[in-house]
Amino acid sequence: MPQIPQSLHELTVGQLSARSGAAVSALHFYESKGLIHSRRTSGNQRRYTRDALRRVAFVRAAQRVGIPLATIREALAELPEERTPTREDWARLSAAWRAELDERIAQLGRLRDHLTDCIGCGCLSLETCVLSNPDDVSGDRISGSRLMPERRHGGAALRSDVPGSDAPRHTDGPAAG
């Protein structure tokens, strides 16, 4: 890792990239999303203050644990005068993100378990498969492919195949089936 002299208070995008391990394109992207900031020289080159190193490290660490960039940006915006995040900031923010991460982990666990069930079964049944037929509201009453009966509401046929739908179902005659 290249050493940057302590007397150098601003970094080029190449120096920031080399020190942080983030690609130049990633740094440009972070800047476009408001995660880091630079100033422009008279030659229109980016210059970053040294604290951008800690901000990039903060962003990359948060990304590695699955925190969306929008959430990271909100967290950085809460810091006074957009200062560099400290160890205490990270502890406070990571504690707040813990519940969100725990819920995502639980959701992924459920997905994994359903995938295992599906692979074990192999049928991809529209009757019972939670992966190919999620949120099946009729599966506990009937099985297999069925044309859902129409409900009449004020003389107009309503779609009963879409739960909670009051959208008229346009038919030119009796339902086939």
Amino acid at 49: T
Residue 22: predicted pLDDT? 95
From residue 74, give the alpha-carbon distance in Å to each of 57, 59, 93, 174.
Answer: 16, 12, 11, 55
Residue 145: predicted pLDDT? 58
From residue 177, give the alpha-carbon distance in Å to each of 33, 87, 91, 149.
Answer: 54, 66, 61, 10
Residue 48: predicted pLDDT? 94
Q: Which of 147, 145, 151, 141 is nearest to 132 (CA)?
A: 145
Q: Which of 71, 67, 73 is nearest to 104 (CA)?
A: 67
Residue 111: predicted pLDDT? 82
Instruction: State the Cα–Cα distance between residues 20 and 56, nearest whole angstrom.
Output: 7
The answer to pTM > 0.75 is no
pLDDT < 50: residue spans in the chain: 159-160, 162, 165, 168-173, 175-177
